[in-house]
Chains A and B, each alone.
Chain A
């Protein structure tokens, strides 16, 4: 597999030499000293401190924080509009230690919201800043390609800005729309061919549009065009109350059976924001149900990847769906739903394990007992198949440095040998008290990503087994599934929190700012698929079309989460 020496570029300084790292954690004063005059102000957020910097010094500050202080992970960029200013928030983390966080706050003037682009420091900023520009209206200087990303190019105004006029008609005539066929004829005497792959194509797993330039059978350039499934999820959450109304929405982001994992992302952020403690019993139920979701999601990811590599009539897809169906049945018993679970509540879960409990546990144990045999069959059918290996080993290579720069997380990062899993590194729920392993593969290729998912199913099964043991022996009068939470939550004004969990596809983060009401003033979703999809050009340029399709499949994106 990829044996080339890692590029000893600037991104990875040794952990010891990083500024601001002490035994207790992060020393924000030392970081403030590093920035010196460039630091205007310091803010307290729930998860980390926010360093306020001038819009024309963003780049130098971020370079220093990356190279001197070791913040190699730009998790998310949030933009928002206040009454007197625009603000861009760069949520920085470390792949080595994700609990060491820092927010860089960049206020910009109302009349001229321009700030420096972070793109040269973190390549993931490319799409994140485009989204900030698209939805909020902050402009980024020297951004290589500041176009709209989720909304069509003809859209008028910025929907998350304060002066957005929702009444304004947005439907434009066909004539005014960008005509995708126009580019068809560029460079008539060139040797390349422009092909629109999607938005309706058998292999884009939803409505994704890949503007692809082909040189024969090889991909010369690919530019993902997203936004076809944009459903204003952030805006809907901003118009809903913390306590009850937001929770059903996360199910609809990554709708491929990962519902409870998504719900947990919101639950975690909101519980931290409002200072709610979750009873341990409820945490164990959450852990168990979340891992069931992960198994279902990974099985489907493997099945659909087989569709991409094998063709439409492969047995593997049906096998995977059948096993997923068993997980779905258990989740249905637990939550009453098959897809949109809506099972977690702030401070706990909706209800206890269904009666009779023995039957539920027996069903779950049956699933776990069969799992090793099923996984052996998948390894037999898929990963040990010579043609499959021929297709997947050393194709779609994503070197770890690139993966980090693009903010890749989840199985995509772990398939590139990055040992990063929030369940272990930034523990929540009951994970830190259970015995399980983080899976990494060094291959960096399509094969490694599939292998990571299959092996993670094994680990999830281990976690569920331990949870079932705990739940079975739990004393009956201590089964507390819900903490005491006020009927209406009104967190203190201007409290800001950014929290992430390890969802099926990677780091799913939620940023929330409260304004004293029972609805968040800003609700931002950091979708793992959004960041992971950005790596597609790196993986597929210069490769063959089938490899690009396979790479896309191995990223395991869900467009509902990419476009939100």
Chain B
């Protein structure tokens, strides 16, 4: 059986594969870049396929439409067509924007999400680094995006952007805490922040129902935490019912109103990579990482990630948007209390069992 998690991180594995000395820091340094480049390319590829083509097809399926079908097979050629279209548009810099904050914001939004993938164990040993504080690191990098959104909203010199930026920060603050607390309840189970350890601790069988072994994924061990985390994750990535920072019918496009061309692409990209990162975190800490029958672990991992993405699109097509005050109320008065209760209960249960 293929081990779910190799002890060697990806750069060292590549070094061994190429016959180089993995203990040489210079070699590792270069190969870390190679590994990171590979992962980033995969993520950008996923965004291109799922963000440009998949999104249309999925939303169309939910809303009973056909969507792109004229550009190549299944409309797949829309991906290069859209990429060329978006990148060849004029980059309009509005008067009075606060540079360089306005220019940096899209970079911050896009790159903060990519940083998180550095510690994600994709299965089959594909993991760039496996630090002991993996979970704390990935949550911390993901939340840097809030800064980017605030920068975008504030620097755009547009009132809709400003409202959107403020909404984004208020929302991310309110839902970041439940997110972290719920993730912490998993840490109590696993006894470690290291993502590979968390994945490994989910590999045992929880119960066996009629010959089918239900693994001890934390989604099954603690479904309550899973639901909480999925809800908070929706708010983190800003999808219905929490798409308030963008809310096109209210504040046009929120913080991204004034962005065009490449900057728009970067923000758009950042949003999608955030959704994928959210999916990756969910897959890692609740769905057993790359665990699954028959198919290799990395395939399972991407299936789980895509499933979470599908869920956000589903919510987007079917659920109304909350109002900002209701959102804040649910965040601070509902989710926060529930996640604390979950944390304390988990701690008690784990304490009693051990």
On whether the two chains bind one another, the answer is yes
- Please name all residues of chain B whose beta carbon is closer than 8 Å to the beta carbon of A28 when the two chains form the complex: none
How many residues in A have their beta carbons less than 8 Å from beta carbons of B?
A: 31
Q: Is A315 a contact partner of B62 (Cβ separation < 8 A)?
A: yes
- Please name all residues of chain B whose beta carbon is closer than 8 Å to the beta carbon of A547 when the two chains form the complex: 323
| Partner pick for B249 among A217, A312, A544, CB 8 A cutoff | A312
Q: Give the residue among A193, A195, A387 with the most B Cβ atoms within 10 A.
A: A387
Q: Taking the complex as formed, is B75 at the interface, i.e. its CB lies under 8 A from any CB of chain A? A: no
Q: Is A387 a contact partner of B318 (Cβ separation < 8 A)?
A: no
Q: Taking the complex as formed, is B57 at the interface, i.e. its CB lies under 8 A from any CB of chain A? A: no
Q: Taking the complex as formed, is A178 at the interface, i.e. its CB lies under 8 A from any CB of chain B? A: no
- Interface flags, B299-324, vs A, CB<8A=1, else 0: 00000000000000000111111111
Q: Is B249 a contact partner of A549 (Cβ separation < 8 A)?
A: yes
- Please name all residues of chain A whose beta carbon is closer than 8 Å to the beta carbon of B326 when the two chains form the complex: 390-391
| Known contacts A202-B249, A217-B163, A313-B59; A318 and B318 CB within 8 A of each other | no
For window 243-296 of B, CB contacts with A under 8 Å fall at 243, 247-252
**Whole-angstrom distance from the CB of B210 to the nearest CB of chain A?**
35
Q: Is B322 a contact partner of A311 (Cβ separation < 8 A)?
A: no
**Cα distance A203–B248 in the bound complex, in angstroms:** 8
| Partner pick for A546 among B64, B252, B321, CB 8 A cutoff | B321
Q: Is A544 a contact partner of B324 (Cβ separation < 8 A)?
A: yes
Q: Is B240 a contact partner of A217 (Cβ separation < 8 A)?
A: no
**Whole-angstrom distance from the CB of A196 to the nearest CB of chain B?**
9
For window 183-230 of A, CB contacts with B under 8 Å fall at 193, 195, 201-203, 217
Which B residue's beta carbon lies closest to that of A314?
Answer: B317
- Please name all residues of chain A whose beta carbon is closer than 8 Å to the beta carbon of B240 when the two chains form the complex: 310-311
**Cα distance A319–B241 in the bound complex, in angstroms:** 20
- Please name all residues of chain A whose beta carbon is closer than 8 Å to the beta carbon of B252 when the two chains form the complex: 201-202
**Whole-angstrom distance from the CB of A167 to the nearest CB of chain B?**
39
Q: Is A315 a contact partner of B249 (Cβ separation < 8 A)?
A: no
Q: Taking the complex as formed, is B333 at the interface, i.e. its CB lies under 8 A from any CB of chain A? A: no
**Cα distance A311–B316 in the bound complex, in angstroms:** 8
- Please name all residues of chain B whose beta carbon is closer than 8 Å to the beta carbon of A322 when the two chains form the complex: 64
- Please name all residues of chain B whose beta carbon is closer than 8 Å to the beta carbon of A201 when the two chains form the complex: 252
Q: Taking the complex as formed, is A90 at the interface, i.e. its CB lies under 8 A from any CB of chain B? A: no
Q: Is A318 a contact partner of B64 (Cβ separation < 8 A)?
A: yes
| Known contacts A195-B159, A202-B252; A311 and B323 CB within 8 A of each other | no
Q: Is A217 a contact partner of B324 (Cβ separation < 8 A)?
A: yes
**Cα distance A314–B59 in the bound complex, in angstroms:** 9
Q: Is A319 a contact partner of B321 (Cβ separation < 8 A)?
A: no
For window 316-334 of A, CB contacts with B under 8 Å fall at 317-319, 322
Which B residue's beta carbon lies closest to that of A387?
Answer: B320
Q: Is B250 a contact partner of A310 (Cβ separation < 8 A)?
A: no
**Whole-angstrom distance from the CB of B53 to the nearest CB of chain A?**
16
Q: Taking the complex as formed, is A385 at the interface, i.e. its CB lies under 8 A from any CB of chain B? A: yes
- Please name all residues of chain A whose beta carbon is closer than 8 Å to the beta carbon of B322 when the two chains form the complex: 387, 390-391
- Please name all residues of chain B whose beta carbon is closer than 8 Å to the beta carbon of A309 when the two chains form the complex: 320-321
| Known contacts A202-B252, A387-B320, A546-B247; A217 and B325 CB within 8 A of each other | yes
**Cα distance A349–B45 in the bound complex, in angstroms:** 60
Q: Taking the complex as formed, is A545 at the interface, i.e. its CB lies under 8 A from any CB of chain B? A: yes
Q: Taking the complex as formed, is B65 at the interface, i.e. its CB lies under 8 A from any CB of chain A? A: yes
**Whole-angstrom distance from the CB of B168 to the nearest CB of chain A?**
13
**Cα distance A381–B319 in the bound complex, in angstroms:** 9
**Cα distance A307–B321 in the bound complex, in angstroms:** 10
Q: Taking the complex as formed, is A388 at the interface, i.e. its CB lies under 8 A from any CB of chain B? A: yes
Q: Taking the complex as formed, is A308 at the interface, i.e. its CB lies under 8 A from any CB of chain B? A: yes
| Known contacts A387-B320, A391-B322, A544-B323; A307 and B63 CB within 8 A of each other | no
| Partner pick for B317 among A308, A315, A391, A544, CB 8 A cutoff | A315
**Whole-angstrom distance from the CB of B288 to the nearest CB of chain A?**
31
For window 26-82 of B, CB contacts with A under 8 Å fall at 59, 62-65
Could you list which residues of chain B lie within 8 angstroms of chain A, going by C-beta atoms? 59, 62-65, 159-160, 163, 240-241, 243, 247-252, 316-326
A-B contact pairs, 5 of them (CB 8 A): A310-B240, A311-B240, A318-B65, A387-B321, A546-B323
| Pairs of residues from A and B, 6 with the lowest C-beta to C-beta distance, nearest first | A203-B249, A318-B63, A315-B63, A387-B320, A310-B320, A388-B320
Could you list which residues of chain A lie within 8 angstroms of chain B, going by C-beta atoms? 193, 195, 201-203, 217, 306-315, 317-319, 322, 381, 385, 387-388, 390-391, 544-547, 549
- 16 extra A-B contacts, CB within 8 A, seeds A387-B321, A391-B320, A544-B324: A201-B252, A217-B325, A307-B249, A312-B248, A313-B62, A313-B316, A315-B63, A315-B317, A385-B320, A387-B322, A388-B320, A390-B322, A544-B323, A545-B163, A545-B250, A545-B251
